[in-house]
């Protein structure tokens, strides 16, 4: 597909996912050779109408130069005129020449990698169906479908066949925010200025995703004892100081306002399949804004091509515990997340604001780098992208920040989800 047409699809993806009726297009796209029957079946298996629309648009970008104009034709033929007009607005005029046996968009032939068999599936998407009368051959080459089946290891699950979690319950589920701002004097922990900004942002964001948002400062057991049968998901957000602890699953711990530690692995255990039966098989999401330790990352030099403008203020604070003999003018306020050995708890994702061992930065007025970026990414991309993709965007954006032009931060996550997760968004 022409690059300009790809950009048009990407620019209008939100509207396409929201308004497209893919089931009306399948026969036309198959008849015109845009997709094969196998690809149509894969799109149908994506799940809901929105999931099918999202996958159809993504796969369309791989289907050659004729795919975009043929897609417009199919939209017109199925009375989806508004979408056709939307895609044509600002697009260069395209003249669709009828395909003949001697005029077919052939794929660019590239050598297959020796060590990455999963890329065979991506190679398959680049192939445009070829008319069988196109050119006789004494030794017919295998079809893309057969080639990919032959080279794919037995039992391998294709990336484009991964299912999505059911996320259409109303409300979608509970979202618990634990926001520790003021700490008891005996804890010797600094108050976390700016954390209320984080809390307000996340409360509004998850309300927009149709969650029941609650703020408490008590134990998680009350949440685990709720009946989640009618819901599809559960979210826990921890905003506090943090530290490194001995662990066997998820690294790190967060501080209560009384100065006592709660390991992250204990937090996740409250809601796992063993202790909360009504959440079995459902996604359980944990977002941790807390330092992973006391170490400060000064980054490393990169080539000029990779340099992006740094963001961050001179007054940014960390969420690490204060160091008694620190001579640095920047305050500390979070702690290390321990190194992890990974288990296999299904349907759990823990997103950390920083890499284990390093501090997490917070602006006293604007809130933490991580939450500010997370909220922005969710607002801009939740209608089109899954959670794992959006967290990668968060990782990239936060990595461009710097405190005093020196200190860096790298978020990350422990992802044990088995399916794609798309939040509910307003139509």
SS3 sequence, 378-426? HHHHCCCCCHHHHHHHHHHHHHCECECCCEECCCEEEECCCCECCCCCC
Note the pLDDT of residue 384: 93
pLDDT (tens digit, 9 = 90+) per residue, 7-58? 888 888 888 999 999 999 999 999 888 999 888 988 988 888 888 999 899 8
103 assigned to some structural domain: no
Pick from 82, 91, 74: nearest CA to 1: 91
Task: For residue 288, give every residue at least 6 positions away whose Cβ sits within 8 Å of its Cβ, in sequence order, or none.
Answer: 238, 242, 252, 254, 264, 350, 351, 352, 353
The one catalytic residue in 5, 241, 247, 401 is: 241
Tell me which residue range forms the domain holding 366: 173-299+308-415
pLDDT (tens digit, 9 = 90+) per residue, 107-157? 444 443 433 333 333 333 343 343 443 444 444 433 333 333 334 444 555
Note the pLDDT of residue 117: 35
The pTM is what?
0.56
User: How many domains in the chain?
Assistant: 2
Note the pLDDT of residue 337: 30
Residue 235, CA atoms < 13 Å, CB-side half-sphere: 25
423 assigned to some structural domain: no
**Average of pLDDT values for 265-271?**
90
SS3 91: coil
Note the pLDDT of residue 115: 36
Note the pLDDT of residue 202: 94
DSSP code for 139: S
Integer angstrom CA distances of residue 273 from 7, 111, 172, 277: 42, 45, 18, 6
Pick from 120, 127, 183: nearest CA to 151: 120
pLDDT band per the 50, 70, 90 thresholds, residue 369: confident
233 in catalytic set: no
Q: 50 and 191 share a domain? A: no
Tell me the two tokens of residue 343.
Answer: 């288990």
21 in catalytic set: no
258 assigned to some structural domain: yes
Tokens 């968009």 -> residue: 105
Q: What is the CATH number of the domain that holds 63?
A: 1.10.533.10
Residue 159, CA atoms < 13 Å, CB-side half-sphere: 11
197 assigned to some structural domain: yes
162 assigned to some structural domain: no
Give the separation between CA 422 and CA 384, rounded to whole angstroms.
8
Cα torsion 314, 318, 322, 324: sign = negative
The one catalytic residue in 234, 291, 401, 422 is: 291
Could you tell me if 239 and 192 are in contact, meaning their C-beta atoms sit under 8 angstroms apart? yes
pLDDT (tens digit, 9 = 90+) per residue, 158-179? 555 678 999 999 999 999 999 9
Out of 89-98, 113-122, 274-283, give the one with best mean pLDDT: 274-283
């Amino acid at each position: 597909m022409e690059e300009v047409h790809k950009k048009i699809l990407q620019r209008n993806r939100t509207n396409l996912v929201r308004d497209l009726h893919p089931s009306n297009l399948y026969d036309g796209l198959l008849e015109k050779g845009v997709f094969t029957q196998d690809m149509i079946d894969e799109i149908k298996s994506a799940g809901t109408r929105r999931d099918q629309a999202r996958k159809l648009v993504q796969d369309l970008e791989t289907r050659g130069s004729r795919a975009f104009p043929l897609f417009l034709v199919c939209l017109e033929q199925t009375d989806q005129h508004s979408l056709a007009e939307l895609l044509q607005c600002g697009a260069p005029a395209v003249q669709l020449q009828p395909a003949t046996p001697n005029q077919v968009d052939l794929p660019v032939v590239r050598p297959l990698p020796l060590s990455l068999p999963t890329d065979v599936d991506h190679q398959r998407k680049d192939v445009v169906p070829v008319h069988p009368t196109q050119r006789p051959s004494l030794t017919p080459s295998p079809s893309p479908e057969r080639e990919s089946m032959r080279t794919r290891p037995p039992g391998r699950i294709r990336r484009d066949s991964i299912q999505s979690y059911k996320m259409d319950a109303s409300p979608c589920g509970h979202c618990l925010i634990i926001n520790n701002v003021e700490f008891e004097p005996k804890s010797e922990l600094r108050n976390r200025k700016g954390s209320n900004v984080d809390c307000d942002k996340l409360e509004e964001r998850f309300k927009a995703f149709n969650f029941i948002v609650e703020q408490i400062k008590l134990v998680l057991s009350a949440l685990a004892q709720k009946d989640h049968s009618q819901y599809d998901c559960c979210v826990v957000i921890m905003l506090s100081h943090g530290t490194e602890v001995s662990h066997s699953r998820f690294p790190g711990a967060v501080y209560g306002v009384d100065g006592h530690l709660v390991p992250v692995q204990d937090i996740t255990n409250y809601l796992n399949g063993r202790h909360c039966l009504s959440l079995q098989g459902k996604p359980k999401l944990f977002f941790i804004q807390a330092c992973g330790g006391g170490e400060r990352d000064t980054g490393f030099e990169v080539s000029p091509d990779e340099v992006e403008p740094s963001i961050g203020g001179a007054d940014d604070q960390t969420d690490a515990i204060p160091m008694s003999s620190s001579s640095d003018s920047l305050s500390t306020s979070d702690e290390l997340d321990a190194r992890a050995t990974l288990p296999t708890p299904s349907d759990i994702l823990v997103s950390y604001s920083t890499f284990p061992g390093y501090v997490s930065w917070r602006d006293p007025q604007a809130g933490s780098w991580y939450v500010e970026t997370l909220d922005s990414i969710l607002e801009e991309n939740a209608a089109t992208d899954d959670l794992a993709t959006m967290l990668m965007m968060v990782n990239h954006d936060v990595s461009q920040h710097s405190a005093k032009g020196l200190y860096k931060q790298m978020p990350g996550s422990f992802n044990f989800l088995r399916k794609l997760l798309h939040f509910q968004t307003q139509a």
